[in-house]
Chain A
Amino acid sequence: DIQMTQSPSSLPASLGDRVTITCRASQDIGNYLRWFQQKPGKSPRLMIYGATNLAAGVPSRFSGSRSGSDYSLTINSLESEDMAIYYCLQHNEYPLTFGSGTKLEIK
């Protein structure tokens, strides 16, 4: 199975900060990587698909990038509504695997 190692698990940050969350894939997944945002008591929301593409309706302060087997989600100029848990998902091969999540919280 492909392991998605997500870091950090917790990320305290201030409003206006630029933050980056990373997932490292244990095998090649190409660009079959998605990022989700989940707020307490809510369903996940797709943020990024194809590693770098912004999903519909997602603010432009969110971006995705790839460097080898490392995939990153960056949020520029953090806003209070961005406080949530973020997960990556590889869908290159079965079983599909999620990262363990990053809780973004106000410092």
Chain B
Amino acid sequence: EVQLVESGGGLVQPGRSMKLSCAASGFTFSNYGMAWVRQAPTKGLEWVATISYDGSSTYYRDSVKGRFTISRDNAKSTLYLQMNSLRSEDTATYYCTRGGAFDYWGQGVMVTVSS
């Protein structure tokens, strides 16, 4: 059974950093690109970043470029999202998903940026 389990969310002050993790199981992680998608409270879905199966290629939405870094550890079957210089508009539930296919999603982790 495919499982994606996010962790690392919580309350953080503006300008600070936070790192999200997504532990994958039930499939060969190293064969798949992965992505982060977020959803602000009561708002729609918003793509954040994608990483290729081997980590050699990454893509970001403009609003997070230079602040967020997507990475992966294939040996640990884990996806990461390092978020720096956080802003109030980054407040959202962050989902990891199997990129390209978007066929499996984690349960989401809430990130609240507030002083």
A residues neighboring B (CB under 8 Å): 34, 36, 38, 43-46, 49, 55-56, 87, 89, 91, 94-101
Contact = CB atoms under 8 A, between A and B. Distances in A.
A49 B61 CA distance: 22
A91 B45 contact: no
A87 B44 contact: yes
Interface string B52-73: 0000000111100000000000
Contacts of A95: 47, 59-62
A70 to B, nearest CB: 19
Contact of A91 (B46, B95, B102, B103): B102
Nearest to A94: B59
Nearest to A44: B105
Interface of B: 35, 37, 44-47, 50, 59-62, 95, 97, 100-103, 105-108
A87 B105 CA distance: 15
A48 to B, nearest CB: 11
Contact of A98 (B44, B101, B105): B44
Contacts of B45: 36, 38, 44, 87, 89, 98, 101
A44 B35 CA distance: 14
